């Protein structure tokens, strides 16, 4: 009977070991995050942040792009809005499609967006928008 319970006692330890990150995994994630932050800094270089706003008009936005948990909306050559999201919309940095549903035609802080794989159309994540910070050329 003892021999039967020994493997069962070892199972949680084995599963826990399979779920832990190695130091190499942590370092790779840090390097990846540093690269994302570098690209974001390049995109916002030369622009000055303004006072955050709760909502922006959805339709005049010409382009959106993702940098980790941050989404940039380019309204014009002189104006970019930055929203730091909460959740899992990081997939837009690799090309996933960002889908929003707003009855007012505006994107607002707290609105939920979903991401979908372009090829398979399967959902890949969701997040909520933070405040929208306008960045303008001085």
Stated as kind and residue range, the H or E segment containing 46 is none
Whose CA is closest to 55, among 104, 88, 125, 114?
Answer: 104
Cα–Cα dist 124/38, whole Å: 25
Which residues, 6 or more positions from 89, have their beta carbon under 8 angstroms from its beta carbon?
66, 69, 71, 98, 113, 115, 125, 126, 127
Cα–Cα dist 46/11, whole Å: 55
Token readout for 88 is: 């899992």
Q: What is the pLDDT of residues 73-126, one digit of tens each?
A: 998 889 999 999 998 888 888 889 989 888 888 999 999 999 999 999 999 999
Whose CA is closest to 125, among 134, 110, 115, 135?
Answer: 115
Query: Is the pTM value of this prediction over 0.95?
Result: no
Q: What is the pLDDT of residues 35-68, one digit of tens each?
A: 778 989 999 999 999 999 999 988 766 788 888 8
């Amino acid at each position: 009977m003892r021999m039967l319970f020994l493997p069962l006692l070892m199972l949680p330890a084995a599963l826990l070991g399979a779920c832990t990150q190695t130091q190499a995994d942590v370092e790779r994630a840090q390097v990846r995050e540093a690269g994302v932050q570098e690209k974001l800094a390049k995109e916002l270089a030369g622009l000055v942040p303004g006072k955050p706003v709760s909502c922006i008009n959805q339709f005049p936005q010409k382009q959106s792009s993702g940098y980790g948990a941050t989404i940039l909306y380019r309204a014009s050559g002189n104006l970019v809005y930055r929203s730091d999201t909460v959740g899992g919309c990081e997939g837009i940095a690799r090309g996933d499609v960002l889908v929003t549903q707003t009855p007012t035609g505006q994107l607002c802080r707290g609105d939920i967006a979903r991401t979908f794989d372009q090829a398979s159309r399967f959902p890949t994540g969701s997040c909520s928008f933070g405040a929208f910070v306008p960045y303008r050329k001085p």
